[in-house]
Amino acid sequence: MKSPRFCLETHSPDLATWTRHRVSVVEEIGSILGHLPVLPGRVQGEVLSRREHPLGVVEKIRLSNGSNVGIPAWFAFPKQSTGPGPAVLWCHWHGGEYRTGKGELFENNHTPEPPIECFLQRGCSVLCIDAYGFGERNGRDPESCHDLDQEGEQSLFKHFLWQGSSLWGRIVWDDRLAFRYLQQRDEVDGDRIAVAGMSMGSTRAQWLMAFEERAAMCVGIACMVRYRELIASKGLRRHGLYFFVPGLMEYCDLEVILALAAPRPLLCLNGGSDLLSPRRGMEKAGRLTAGVYDRCGKSEAFRNEIFDGVGHACTPESWQIAMDWIERL
């Protein structure tokens, strides 16, 4: 298989070269995602309802994305908040749970505790949106042809492909919109926002960290997929259509996306037996990413932890490590 045009495996740029080319790398990766709308200077958000939570206040909101449906979301902030503080943009997972979406924030089905409680306990506000095809957007976005669940995801993928875009590009665009909305909230310090998630949410957080330079930290759980190793393991069927971007492998592999986070803190927590993320790929991407962090003089800011005997899951141990990192905000 031919090496990509930007390959950390065959060419390890020095810090000056990496710094000089970083902006153009981000721009080229952005162009591979296809035609995307220009992000607005200010994100409009409508508060639909508000309720008390034992640890804070929860708002149901809808972000404007240029469509009538908008982006449904939950936003919560700590009850004892006295001013702008840290926040987390939590990216929900896939798992075929199209009806759940942002509701994952209140569940402990995939994490040892509901994420909202963990963040509020640590004094963090939190925002979680429905990605395309999930939660309240399942079958509602017109690009899905109002098909539900997996059929809806397939329709979204085909629609955006025909429009010269990509489903993944639109998902990332929505996440960037949500990040910028979070920066606008009075309860949030715009320079203390972590992006985090599990499975598809982990990949979303990794890409968001690459594109949004003001994102302070990334925590990715149970998804660290180096594309070449996924192909070698015959594992393409294990990921939904949303994951695939035309032409991406001709340009780069996962370690480039991860390295764009440097020198900001980046935590990767994965199971060594996870068939969705071949171990050899996690190790290689981790080693190449660590090299960039080393050249930045921030080796301690990157941690790639692989847990033996663990599959596609978030264990109590990995969750505690994740929460310890969040407390650094």
The structure's pTM equals 0.97
Owning domain of residue 91 = 15-326
Contact 281, 231 (CB under 8 A): no
The pair phi, psi for residue 111, each rounded to 5°, is: -120, 150
- How far is 134 from 128, CA to CA, in rounded Å? 12
Residue 224, pLDDT score: 98
Amino acid at 42: R
| Residue 10 placed within a domain | no
Residue 138 lies in a domain: yes
Query: Has residue 2 been placed in a domain?
Result: no
Chunked into runs of 10 residues, the chain (329 residues) has average pLDDT values of 83 85 93 96 96 97 91 95 92 97 97 97 97 97 96 98 97 98 97 98 98 98 97 96 94 96 97 98 97 95 98 98 96
Give the DSSP letter of residue 49: E
Q: How many domains does the chain have?
A: 1
Q: For residue 95, is it within any domain?
A: yes
User: How far apart are alpha carbons 320 and 180 in whole angstroms?
Assistant: 28
The answer to whether position 289 is within a domain reads yes
Confirm if 139 and 148 have CB atoms less than 8 A apart. yes
Q: Which residues contact 236 (CB under 8 A, 6 or more apart)?
A: 230
Asked whether residue 149 is domain-assigned, the answer is yes
Distance CA 328, CA 242 (A): 32
In a domain, 160, yes or no: yes
Strands 217-221 and 266-271: parallel
Alpha-carbon torsion 65, 219, 229, 249, what sign? positive
pLDDT of res. 239:
96
pLDDT at 20: 87
Does some domain include residue 9? Answer: no
Which CATH number is 282's domain given? Answer: 3.40.50.1820
